[in-house]
Structure 1
């Protein structure tokens, strides 16, 4: 089974990088990206994706808002340039937090954690 991932980030650069790195993970089936948090909010309500990766610092709805609304219904990976946001994001229920700039390995490890959370088993190497 492979994952459907939504990525929300107001930075086109980070959005593009995260999409490219996520698509290279062998357990990711599809990646859909949103620069606008409100468009993502609507899509998440309608499509109910398996996993969401959201930047914390966005105009409009920020990553904390997403966690408060959807964190108990689906796994989240939170990201930010500010490491101090990790504690709050984890308290709100994110599965993993990755600091920007992140590497392919760091994002892949986060995806592995989410996969384990959803399917209850570790990813085999």
Structure 2
């Protein structure tokens, strides 16, 4: 039981970092990335991935819009350079919030929380 993760971020730098770090998590099966929020929106509706990590501040459809549309159906990890978005993101239903710049351990902890939410099992160290 491994996770299928979609990462959405308009910054190529943050997108590639998140992808690289997520792929090192032992319980992540696959990572698909999107720089365009509208392309991600279409994919999420069709493919119904297990978990989505989304930047809050993006042009077009932002991360809060994603939470409003999908948080009741999919576990979300929200991310931003602005810590003040955490409260709103959690109110909208994100499982965890990671502040940029984030570390490997912070991202892995967020993925552990999502895994627990989906499967009801804690990740073994």
For normalisation by structure 2, the TM-score amounts to 1.00
Aligned to 2:106: 106
**1:121, CA displacement in angstroms?**
1.2
Runs (4+) of structure 1 exceeding 2 A deviation are: none
| 2:62 pairs with 1:62 | yes
Q: Secondary structure at the match of 1:57?
A: coil
| 2:11 pairs with 1:6 | no
Aligned to 1:122: 122
Coordinate RMSD, CA, aligned: 0.3
Aligned to 2:78: 78
Q: Secondary structure at the match of 2:29?
A: strand
Unaligned runs of 5+ in 1: none
Q: Deviations over 1:10-63 (max 9, x none)?
A: 000000000000000000000000000000000000000000000000000000
